Amino acid sequence: MNDMDVAGEVFSAMLDARVTLNREPVCSVASAESVLYHVCQTSVLNSRGHTLQPVQFIPALERASLIRLFDRHVVKQAISSLRARPDSRLGVEVSAQSSVADVVWEAIFQLIEQTPDVAERLVIEIPEAAWFDAHERVQRFTQSLKHAGCKIAIADFGIETAIGVRSPDIIKIDASFTAAARHGRVHVEHLAQLIRRAAKQAETVVVEGVDEPVDIMHVRECGAQWAQGQLVTALFSDGPKSASACSTSSALAARTQIAS
């Protein structure tokens, strides 16, 4: 399918409530029961009944300059979920194209401002590259969100190093550095340097791409307190019950490392 065909499938799914928010936890490396918030990873059920993952439709929406409509739809879904579950905290990543404080977003800003109990539990994640593509525009967008009460996270940090970003609440180290750290001490030290740099800009630092037991060891060694990734999801997505249900030897090894 071409990009417009993909977009048609996605917008049809939006109208028919076939867009699902899958929750991926950001967890403490020190406590199996401590979850910072859940990141909303979207999936779309197309007209043929097949589930599409983000990699199958997000690039097409971005190329067609239609991602903003989808991002706003997801944010609205997250707000509805937060209203229904007052004990939850959710994060939503919006694209660089969406990071514009315009009249279309104004309705969402007002909605958030009217529900401060929801705003304080909503994290808006913006990819680091956006700060370079349109720095002033993104600053205005994040200021509007912070004024409404939301938390701001920089995602994929380290690729370009977004120095100069004003007071992000959370910085998330890009998964590529977690993967690289599996291949030698030089890369582990590079990860540690990025974490230290991020800690100077934000109160909370999260390491992405924690998919293997060794990743947990590196995250703890490098001084970060929070992690996100496939292994973290397998162990903690539903708390201790989920962790105990994970039967692979690697998962058990990781649990031992975290608990120690």
Tokens of 105: 């977003």
**Is the confidence at residue 250, as pLDDT, over 60?**
no
Distance from C-alpha of 221 to C-alpha of 47, rounded to nearest angstrom? 47
Give CA separation, 145 vs 6, 89, 107, 120, 236, in Å: 30, 16, 12, 10, 29
Distance from C-alpha of 139 to C-alpha of 1, rounded to nearest angstrom? 36
Residue tagged 């997250």 (tokens)? 78
Average pLDDT over the chain, rounded to an integer: 87
Give the angle 6-70-2 at the CA atoms, nearest 5°.
15
CB 123 within 8 A of CB 153: yes
Residue 167: other Cβ atoms inside 10 A? 11
Task: Pick the more confident residue, 243 or 62.
Answer: 62
CATH entry 3.20.20.450 includes domain 3-259: yes
**Is the confidence at residue 253, as pLDDT, over 50?**
no
* Predicted confidence (pLDDT) per residue in 146-157, tens digit: 999 999 999 999
Enumerate the domain spans of the chain: 3-259
The pLDDT, as a whole number, for residue 244 is 33
Sign, CA dihedral 73-49-7-137, equals: positive
Distance from C-alpha of 79 to C-alpha of 118, rounded to nearest angstrom? 7
The pLDDT, as a whole number, for residue 239 is 53
Amino acid at site 4? M
As a whole number, mean pLDDT of residues 197-207 equals: 95
The pLDDT, as a whole number, for residue 160 is 66
* Predicted confidence (pLDDT) per residue in 203-243, tens digit: 999 999 999 999 999 999 999 999 999 999 988 655 544 33
Distance from C-alpha of 156 to C-alpha of 172, rounded to nearest angstrom? 6
CB 157 within 8 A of CB 202: no
